[in-house]
């Protein structure tokens, strides 16, 4: 199960790397998927699955408590997303689009660091 955490971490790091290399490509993806009303449900589903996997895999990971806490936070975020609403999520995406490529790259570096942490915790 820990290997699945490592795979998810690698996927997160790869998405972050895409944003570092080409913020415009990542923004196009975000606009095409997350700006749709179905994107809201997709975000909920992804966070729920991620949270459940992290919680179930935590006992076999290096940083058990950290992985478990991240899983719980992911599930709480999934539950809260519908309450935030599509309009607010869309305005948050618009705000992100208005940031400079350098700022977007910085956020993507955070995603890479988070992904690398999960890979390390899972191997």
Q: 36 pLDDT exceeds 80?
A: no
Q: pLDDT higher for 91 or 66?
A: 66
From 73, 45, 52, 44, select the one nearest 5 (Cα to Cα).
Answer: 52
Q: Measured between alpha carbons, how far is 71 from 80 in angstroms, rounded to an integer? A: 14
Q: Where are the domains of the chain?
A: 2-122
Q: Is the separation of the CB atoms in 121 and 9 below 8 Å?
A: yes
Give the pLDDT confidence score for residue 34 in this predicted structure: 74
Q: What is the structure's pLDDT at 82?
A: 86
**What's residue 103's pLDDT?**
94
Mean pLDDT of 43-67: 96
Surface-to-core class of residue 13, CB atoms within 10 Å of its CB (0-12 exposed, 13-18 middle, 19+ buried): buried
Whole-angstrom distance, CA of residue 27 vs CA of residue 3: 29
pLDDT of the residue at 52: 97
Is pLDDT at 88 greater than 80 in this prediction?
yes
Cα separations in angstroms, 49 against 3, 5, 23, 44, 106: 15, 12, 26, 9, 26
Compute the average pLDDT of residues 95-100. Answer: 88
pLDDT at 60: 96
- With 90 as the cut, is the pLDDT of residue 77 above it? yes
Task: Indicate the average pLDDT of the chain.
Answer: 92
Predicted model pTM: 0.89
């Amino acid at each position: 199960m820990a290997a699945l955490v490592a795979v998810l971490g690698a996927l997160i790091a790869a998405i972050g790397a895409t944003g570092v290399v080409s913020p415009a490509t990542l923004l196009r993806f975000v606009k095409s998927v997350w700006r749709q009303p179905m994107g809201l449900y997709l975000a909920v589903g992804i966070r729920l699955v991620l949270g459940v996997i992290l919680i179930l895999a935590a006992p076999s990971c290096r940083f058990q408590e950290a992985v478990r806490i991240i899983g719980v936070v992911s599930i709480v975020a999934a539950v809260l997303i519908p309450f935030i609403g599509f309009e607010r999520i869309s305005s948050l995406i618009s705000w992100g689009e208005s940031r400079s490529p350098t700022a977007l790259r910085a956020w993507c570096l955070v995603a890479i660091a988070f992904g690398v942490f999960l890979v390390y915790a899972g191997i």
